[in-house]
Chain A
Amino acid sequence: MNLKYALATAGLMLLGAVSANALPVTIGISTSDNINYTGLLTNTSPDPIDIGADSIFDISNPSNSVVSDSLADDIFNGLTLTGGGGTHSFNFAFDQAVLPNNVFVAVKDLNDNVVGTSVPEPGSVALLVGMTMSGGLFLARRRK
């Protein structure tokens, strides 16, 4: 029983940490050939966000190069994501194939804050763990 409470407490602590670390912009990427990619930015916050910088990395290959990045030009032209679900699609390409799991995209606002990344932050993993723990405790209590 003490273990259940300990797990529940840990789960709630993790959930709290997640809510503090959540980023407002989600970034989805897709590809059909592992070279040409399409990305989609979605602003999940209620407020508009001006994008001032982007970064695209292949975290598996030191000799790969980003040969095109339409997001950079979009940012140069003054990209603003409207609040409440505003989206923006963009394209980028590498000169060598790279698996989607090894592509990391990040965007920053005009104040140099990272507002979105394409892979789960540590907090997102904590969210999953926390929800699992809390769900387990709920089921255990119902069985009593």
Chain B
Amino acid sequence: MVLALIAVLAVAGPGLVLAGSPGTSYPKPLYADIIGVFPVCNGGTTQLQLKVKYSDGTESIATSGVTWKAKLGSVDGSGNYTAPAAPATKDLISASYSNGVGSGTANRVITLQDCSI
């Protein structure tokens, strides 16, 4: 009986230690999509958001862990995009994302237009 108890502890103990206490669990991000109101006028602005699809089939708008970048225009840390004032027909938006399990990047070409005419 004592031996059986020792055997159970020997097997279960390390497993319990390795598992640790229950913490926040994240689904794996599979891909992400940059969304906003497009096209954007040259010199105009739009609010960008990153919609992430996860391995469990869910998708949600990322509210943290996103870093934005634009090839021609500019994006602040909150996703406020400003198109270049100089005439251009398109821009490339990039977003980097991490959620505690996975990380990656999404890119999207958006259309710009001259709204002065």
Bitwise, B25-42 to A at CB < 8 A (1) or not (0) is 000111111100000000
Residues of A contacting B32 in the complex (Cβ-Cβ under 8 angstroms): 55, 57
The listed residue (B29, B33, B105) touching A69 by CB distance below 8 A is: B105
CA distance A114 to B53 in the complex (A): 11
Are A54 and B106 in contact, CB atoms less than 8 angstroms apart?
A: yes
Question: Chain B interface residue count: which class?
Answer: 20 to 34
The listed residue (B98, B105, B109) touching A55 by CB distance below 8 A is: B105
- Could you tell me the distance in whole angstroms from the C-beta of B88 to the nearest C-beta in chain A? 11
Bitwise, B66-106 to A at CB < 8 A (1) or not (0) is 00000100000000000000000010101010111111111
Most chain A CB within 10 A, of B28, B94, B100, is at B28
Bitwise, A47-91 to B at CB < 8 A (1) or not (0) is 000001111111111111110010111011000000000000000
Count of chain A residues near B, Cβ 8 A: 28
Are A75 and B92 in contact, CB atoms less than 8 angstroms apart?
A: yes
Q: Does B107 lie at the interface of the complex (its beta carbon under 8 Å from any beta carbon of A)? A: yes
Residues of B contacting A65 in the complex (Cβ-Cβ under 8 angstroms): 96, 103, 105
Residues of B contacting A64 in the complex (Cβ-Cβ under 8 angstroms): 103-104
Q: Does A117 lie at the interface of the complex (its beta carbon under 8 Å from any beta carbon of B)? A: yes
CA distance A2 to B31 in the complex (A): 42
Q: Does B64 lie at the interface of the complex (its beta carbon under 8 Å from any beta carbon of A)? A: no
Are A53 and B34 in contact, CB atoms less than 8 angstroms apart?
A: yes
The listed residue (A56, A112, A114) touching B104 by CB distance below 8 A is: A56
CA distance A66 to B96 in the complex (A): 8
- Could you tell me the distance in whole angstroms from the C-beta of A98 to the nearest C-beta in chain B? 10
Residues of B contacting A56 in the complex (Cβ-Cβ under 8 angstroms): 104-105
Are A55 and B103 in contact, CB atoms less than 8 angstroms apart?
A: no
Residues of A contacting B90 in the complex (Cβ-Cβ under 8 angstroms): 76
Closest chain A residue to B30, Cβ basis: A104
Q: Does A108 lie at the interface of the complex (its beta carbon under 8 Å from any beta carbon of B)? A: yes
The listed residue (A71, A76, A112, A117) touching B33 by CB distance below 8 A is: A112
Are A62 and B31 in contact, CB atoms less than 8 angstroms apart?
A: no
Are A58 and B102 in contact, CB atoms less than 8 angstroms apart?
A: yes
Are A62 and B33 in contact, CB atoms less than 8 angstroms apart?
A: no
Given contacts A52-B109, A72-B92, A75-B107, contact A59 B33 (CB under 8 A): no
Nearest first, the 8 A-B pairs at minimum CB distance are A57-B104, A55-B31, A106-B31, A72-B107, A53-B108, A59-B28, A59-B102, A66-B105
Show the binding face of A for B, using Cβ within 8 Å.
52-66, 69, 71-73, 75-76, 102, 104, 106, 108, 112, 114, 117
